[in-house]
Amino acid sequence: DKGNHRHFMEKEIHEQPEVIAHTLAHYLDFAGGGVKSFDTPIDFAKIDRLAVSACGTAYLAGLIGKYWFERYARLPVDIDIASEFRYREMPLTKASAALFVSQSGETADTLASLRYCRKEGVPIATIVNVRDSTMARESDGIFPTLAGPEIGVASTKAFTCQLSIFAALAVRAGLERGTLSPEEASSHIRALSEAPRYAAQALKLEERIEKVGRELSQVRHVLYLGRDTNYPLAMEGALKLKELSYIHAEGYAAGELKHGPIALIDEQMPVIVIAPCDRIFEKTVSNMQEVAARGGRIILITDEEGAVRASLDSFETIVMPTVPELIAPIVYALPVQMLAYHTAVAMGTDVDQPRNLAKSVTVE
Ligand code: F6R
């Protein structure tokens, strides 16, 4: 049931404040500022390496999770696309654990990767939305996303719930490994507790984003840029645009621009930059200046301070609420999803059922 929404995707985008809150409450004790004692087959204090693998949007959630585990828990993370992992014969040591990410819990390549890790004899956990799925059954334990059924083929609310769990797990791992003090952990947990409220604020930008989406529906190519955790989010933005609107889009690390893709820039190719005003904002601004100098059209997704500090001659902005750094990719996921959605609606494509795609990819 779509309720009063035009598409399941629109409904699922709008459910995010609620399902993020629901998911986080399963893992974090907001009142006490600590982590709840949930079951985990992975002993974060004992392992020295975590292998994460998944496909598509779930893989991109894992890529953001890597930044968090490494930054807050000092735990090295290997992250792979499952179709590569399953054949790459990665050696897993006794002190490793494997973590999979899947909305459906049925994706063939991710399941095959899980079975490879089973043979290697390491503990296996899965961040999964469908609790009675094959991957849930074959894991030693699961971290459920409480997103509810996701019907739209393009993953939206499952993604932000996956991110919420990665953040919660990174905080738990940081505490258990002694790399975060209880005070630092509490401050991250406070930040996470605000994610649903900021997500709700981001939804209010819909009219503005709809207008940008109408403009994007006129172009053939788009470049998406970001740094740090917003780099995988740029790839997610590009993936969403491709699958929904069939516009050719690429997500790049902003710092990689001058190593090749800058050659593509001209008046015809908009560059969408995801850049909250954080400690590396100025670096991204200088990448934007390189784009502007070549006549590129910039659409900057930032906060109020970022919009002021970017100070370029001509660029469009989508101005987000100012959010704590940890939760930026969770909150900024919403405008990125809405932009793909509204571009696709403006083009008249089948948003809930894009051509050539299936919700659950159970063949290789
Ligand atoms: C993109 C999308 C896909 C899935 C991928 C993995 O919007 O939905 O890229 O994320 O097929 O699916 P699950 O998470 O079910 O393993």
Q: What is the pLDDT of residues 212-260, one digit of tens each?
A: 999 999 999 999 999 999 999 999 999 999 999 999 999 999 999 999 9
Q: Which of 80, 81, 103, 126 to mutate to test the pocket of ligand 1 (most atoms within 8 A of CB)?
A: 103
pLDDT at position 311 is: 77
Residue 286 CB contacts under 8 Å (≥ 6 apart), including other chains:
none
Q: Is 103 in the pocket of ligand 1 (CB under 6 A)?
A: yes
**309 CA → ligand 1 middle, Å:** 36
Q: Are 209 and 301 in contact (CB under 8 A)?
A: no
- What the block records as the tokens of 120 is 């290697």
Verify whether residue 359 is a known catalytic residue.
yes
Q: Is 160 in the pocket of ligand 1 (CB under 6 A)?
A: no
Q: Is 155 in the pocket of ligand 1 (CB under 6 A)?
A: yes
Q: Is the pLDDT of residue 347 over 80?
A: yes
Q: Is 200 in the pocket of ligand 1 (CB under 6 A)?
A: no
**327 CA → ligand 1 middle, Å:** 22
Q: Is the ipTM of this complex over 0.85?
A: yes
Q: Is the pLDDT of residue 312 over 80?
A: no
Whole-prediction pTM: 0.97
Q: Is 102 in the pocket of ligand 1 (CB under 6 A)?
A: yes
Give dist(CA 66, CA 82) in Å, integer.
Answer: 15
- Which atom belonging to ligand 1 lies closest to the Cα atom of 156? 7
The pairing of beta strand 28-29 with beta strand 34-35: antiparallel
